[in-house]
Structures are given as C-alpha cells and as structure tokens.
A and B are shown apart, each in its own frame.
Chain A
Amino acid sequence: MLRISQELVDQIVRHAKADHPDEACGVIAGAAGTDTPKRFIPMINAARSTTFYEFDSSDLLKLYREMDDLDEEPVVIYHSHTATEAYPSRTDVTLAGEPGAHYVLVSTREHGQEAGPVEFRSYRIVDGEVTEEPVDVH
C-alpha cells in the first residue's frame, strides 16, 4: 500500500495538469527505510513528449547524489499519461529500475489542464511484473 499525504497528491496532480498534453514526471523522496514519501521533486521531462518521459541525465545524477547525501530513497516515482489510462505501459514496465519504489501513474486524459478529477493509481513494478496497490491518502 502507498500511504501519501493529500498535499503530495495535489502537487503531483497540479504538475500533471500544468504539463498536459506532455507527460509530467518526478520523484517524492523519503528517508531511507521508512517507505514514507516526504520531499516533492518535480523533474523536467527531457523527452517533452505526449507519449514518453525521461529524466534529463544530469538532473538524474544531481537527484541521486542529493538523495544519497540526505540518506533518502525515491519512495514514489510518478508520471502522467495524457491520452490513456493510468496504467503502466509496456515501456514503463521494461524500464522500471527501482524495485523498491511506488510507481504512481496519473491520467489527465479526461480534463487536461482544466479543473476536474484525475485518475491516480499506484503500482509496484518488479522483474517485469506489475502489481497495483491501494493508495491511502491522509
């Protein structure tokens, strides 16, 4: 199960709406071993694409060094789908490189940048296997 604050959920949703129709992406870091997302880190989608996302390579190095220095882990890795449901694509599964992370998918296909609910779901992706998990927002 993913336990996450309403504030962090809202931040992800805001980022996804702002970047629509491109995919938005980012990380929520948390203290190592706690499984608790705390620090919201929106990333630039270097692919600037409606169907693909990729963290910029130098931003990625900076992010991991920073988390290392703070003894943090990427508790949540999020991205948006802008025309399809909030379910990991085949590419998402193939490229998933953090077996300990909660992969959060949101979909802005219904309302785009306009107000309105956004589909928000969470998954574990380990060795090519996707498992959806409940999300507890508090």
Chain B
Amino acid sequence: MSNLAKDLAKITGLKGAFLHSDGHPDIDTFSAKEAHEISSVLDFVEQYFSVAESINRSFNEMIFSLENGDNLITYLFDESTIFILRTEQKVNFPFVRMTSKIIAKKYLKGEYDRQPQKIKPSIAYKDVVIPEHLNQQPKTVPLVKEVLSIEKATNITSIEEPKRSGFLSRMKKALGNDEKAADDSSSTKTYSGPQT
C-alpha cells in the first residue's frame, strides 16, 4: 500500500478523494464515472472560493450534503490547491479536515511522488573504488649506513666465590646427584603406591 493510500485510509467513511494543485499531478481515487463528475464540480468549487476571495471573505471549506446522504467536502488550502472528498453521511469533520491538511501538505512537498530507493543485493568488486591514499605502495625504508663501534670493556669487576649467588655450586651438586641417580638406575624399583 502506498503512503497516499495509507493516509487516505485513516479517513473513516471516505468514498473518494480528488486533490488538485496547479503544477502538480492530480490525485484521483474516484472511479472513471465519478471522476468525470468531480472534475466538473472542481470548476464550480473554484468559482465559489474565487468569488468569496473577491469580497474579502476567507471561506475555505464547503460541505455539500447530497440527496443520497453522502457528503461532498471541499477544502481550499492555498490559492491553487483544492481537495474534494466524498464521504458517508456521518464522519468526524474536524478529523477529516486535519487529515486532509496533512495529505495536502505532503502532496505539495512531493512526498507522494518519491519512490522508495532500491538497495543492490550485492556489490561487484569492479564497482568498488579504492581511495587513493589506500592504494599507494609502501615506501622502502633506507638502510642505516652508519656503523656503530663496539667499545672494549675496560673495567671488569671479578666477583669472588663467596659473593656469588651460589648458582654454580648448586649446579655441581645437582649434577653430582644426577650422576649418582644415573648409577642407581640400573637397580629395579617397584612402586608401592602412595605412602600414608
């Protein structure tokens, strides 16, 4: 359902709508036969409002009660915009007036002409444009020509055995134990489970 149809559907009891404004395509929801009647009525309605304006009267709404009970409601929204609606006998006139105003406003803004923008399901690679700054080749970094010299160590402080951390002595002890353990590996050991 189009936006126009949705907006018109808000008017309960509406039988048909005709919206005319100079420079815009007419909106017409009447059947072909009714549309002919309405277009002839449009000329009369324009004269009603035109004559009222000529005597400095600001009449902008006319409601015709027809023989069969229907209402023919006409609004003049500006100098060239006329809205004609055919409704059932009992309708909420203030609601019809305000809704018609909203529809006419959207119509004049061209909101009913716009088609919803179609979204492409996928984007082909060839259509992708890579920004120039992302398409540049990485620059090569120049080699450093300066060779740094390694200075000879002049002041070397020897650390005496007692001041050492004891790492070597612990290693020697450990190696000695490993040697002993290696010698003992020839003997068979049996696992007797966790000791309690």
A and B associate: no
